[in-house]
Amino acid sequence: MNSMNRTVKIVCILLISYAMFFTFQYYIFSDLTTRVNAYINNIGISYFIKSLVIGIPLFIGVGVIHNFKDFFKSLGLNKSILKVLVFSFICTFPMLIGYSILFDLNPEITITSIVTGAIIAAFIEELYFRGILFGQLFRFTKIGFIPAIFVGSLIFASAHLYQSQEPLILIGIFLTTFVGAILFAWVYVEWNYNLWVSIFLHLFMNLYWILFSVSSNAFGNMYANIFRVLTIALIIGLTILYKRKKGIKFEINKNTILIKK
């Protein structure tokens, strides 16, 4: 199968898979968390089960793309964890320090909010939006970085708009999460398609936002965003420094930005 035919095949499979995914999420299994929780009485596990169930079409889609071989490898889940865990903690450390100084601990924090809002949310969102949607398009087709990331980032950002009803805040939330989606995709690629790096970065950033009374939405405020910008600068700077020191070429360049040559 030539590269163009493979690109068309993957795009079609992903379109069908995500159409089924959203049907599962909003229609068929919309109340699955509540139904499961009635039996096991653990909202975190119930939410995780629902997240996996609605993702079944995506898992099947990835399996079809790769003939049900190397499933975890194709997503970047087979990569080393320790190095990117340390990298992620270092990069997000300014947020931890800054928020601990400027903001009080969140009085409403619970184990469930940490599990669902930080751990499960980071894993599921990175798996579905970076590992599957973006990753399959950019890694295995002729589609370049910008078109591969655009649709996923748009969906990812739109999914956070429930956090406010004010127009200016909504614009801020959209732009913040849109840029975040691009950043997570970039770091995922440049760390050799290691999905754990974007998972841990996402996890730590969500965790510190939950631990402290920073903001009720993803946009935040000026003080919160100062430390978020420092974290972004560290992610980009340390990644560039690491790759140059190791003599590793950058995957995203003029030959891969729009269409892979």
Contact 203/231 with Cβ under 8 angstroms? no
Contacts of 236 (CB under 8 A, 6+ apart): 183, 186
Residue reference for tokens 């790759």: 243
The b/e string for 158-185 (b: 16+ C-beta within 10 A; e otherwise) is eebbeebeeeebbebbbebbbebbbbbb
Average pLDDT over the chain reads 92
User: In this predicted model, what pLDDT tens digit does every residue of 1-44 receive, in sequence order?
Assistant: 688 899 999 999 999 999 999 999 999 999 999 999 999 999 99
Query: Which amino acid type is present at position 90?
Result: I
Backbone phi, psi, residue 80, to 5°: -65, 150
pTM over 0.85: yes
pLDDT for position 172: 74
User: In this predicted model, what pLDDT tens digit does every residue of 144-185 receive, in sequence order?
Assistant: 999 999 877 777 667 656 666 777 777 877 788 888 889 999
Q: Dig out the tokens for 27 from the structure.
A: 């229609």
